[in-house]
Amino acid sequence: MAEKSFKYVIVGGGVAAGYAAREFAKQGVKPGELAIISKEAVAPYERPALSKAYLFPEGISLILSTEIVKADLASKTVISAAGETFKYQILIIATGSTVIRLSDFGVQGADAKNIFYLREIDEADELVKAIKAKKNGKAVIVGGGYIGLELSAALRINNFDVSMVFPEPWCTANMYVFIVPRLFTAGIAAFYEGYYANKGIKIIKGTVAVGFGTEMGKDGTVLEADIVVVGVGGKPLTTLFKDRLTRKRVGLRQMVITKPAYTKKSPNRFDAFFKTSVPDVYAVGDVATFPMKLYGETRRVEHVDHARKSAEQAVKAIFASEQGKSISEYDYLPYFYSRSFDLSWQFYGDNVGESVLFGDSRPESPTHKFGSYWIKDGKVVGAFLESGTPEENKAIAKVARVQPPVSSLDQLAAEGLTFASKI
């Protein structure tokens, strides 16, 4: 097959790829210079909502249904499963993550019909078809993270009898690598579990699915289901590149940026532009480990917000380098959010240290407005808020960024949002 050459090549078709392409367009990429190579059959789209809000700009080569299976970084070449060869001058790796499947754990019958995962748009389409085909059916959601919570709400709204099953002692809203051990504290989780129970959702904690077609739970519980949706986490897609771009460090398997660990005393500015240890190769989104300047640590974040911003940062860095200019280093404030039923929460910062719950966290609360602060070394380092206004959400974001000191946890709990409004 004829070899194709591009100045810039993006491998991957998710949110990071889409936002990188959009930033290339803003920076004035010329027609024919940039190609996105994706194994999906559709242009990059807003994956969290699995909507068809496409991000792909005009004038850029979009090579779909094409899986890259080999990368020769020395010769600046990537090769597809069909044997097509693509040359590049600069490569952006935006391969993202894939879902963890129940078959990965040896769960019996995990390939049965009507067991769904929600990662790509065709999976969402199939799930919608199944929901329409079975009115007032029964659904089991496997997983108590934010995907499990959102899907449980969506199926309940569609008049399904919903059961949510997860192994933790309470729902976690945790799909992110650096949040340890979980975002929801027991106090936060109590609200959502009570609220969901009031909506008619059955919550089964402390057990895992061991099989389908026979018994469902490890404790012998059997659940009938017309639809099963699994949301038990994801893993970065780094197989193609990791052996050549991975720092040899126990427990760190994902792609990393060049040079030693980042610290506040010895900042590694080069890392802040998502350039890898291989010249002219950048890694963005879920696959990239990067310096978290705010905390003086090297981390990895799986979230759409970081995917968007890291992609934009890498492209800006590429053009700045070509023009002999410089840009500000990446200074990311962790941000996560979720929406379900009439609820909407946002979280900023780090969930380490002691936590303080404030507001009205009763499941039957008419306002649903409550939150939590996390305090470490006498400073507020993280903030969570349910049902906040745009102004209130901006206030807790500022708290997480500024990290103001606090002398009394009791006083902080009593002040609640008032504390944030004063920062």
The residue among 267, 292, 322 that closes a domain is: 322
The residue among 287, 322, 357 that closes a domain is: 322
- 398, part of any domain: yes
| Whole-number pLDDT of residue 315 | 97
Six token digits for residue 347: 């979280």
The residue among 209, 234, 259 that closes a domain is: 234
pLDDT digits 0-9 by tens, 90-141: 999 999 888 888 788 777 777 778 888 887 888 888 888 988 888 889 999 9
**Using CA atoms, how far apart are residues 101 and 232, in angstroms rounded to an integer?**
8
State the total domains in the chain. 3
**Using CA atoms, how far apart are residues 339 and 345, in angstroms rounded to an integer?**
7
Burial class (CB in 10 A: 0-12, 13-18, 19+), 385: buried
Contacts of 294 (CB under 8 A, 6+ apart): 331, 332, 333, 401
Contacts of 157 (CB under 8 A, 6+ apart): 341
In this prediction, residue 252 has a pLDDT band, given cuts at 50, 70 and 90, of very low
Are both 125 and 86 inside the same structural domain?
A: no
By residue range, what is the domain housing residue 388?
342-421
If we measure between CA atoms, which residue out of 236, 14, 216, 235 comes closest to residue 115? 216
Q: What does residue 405 show for φ and ψ, rounded to 5 degrees?
A: -75, 155
Are both 160 and 269 inside the same structural domain?
A: no
pLDDT digits 0-9 by tens, 351-383: 999 999 999 999 999 999 999 999 999 999 999
Q: Per 3-state DSSP, what percentage of the chain is helix, strand, and coil (rounded to 5)? A: 25, 30, 45
Are both 265 and 208 inside the same structural domain?
A: no
Are both 145 and 192 inside the same structural domain?
A: yes
Give the global pTM. Answer: 0.86
| 63-77, 115-129, 147-161, 269-283: least confident range | 269-283
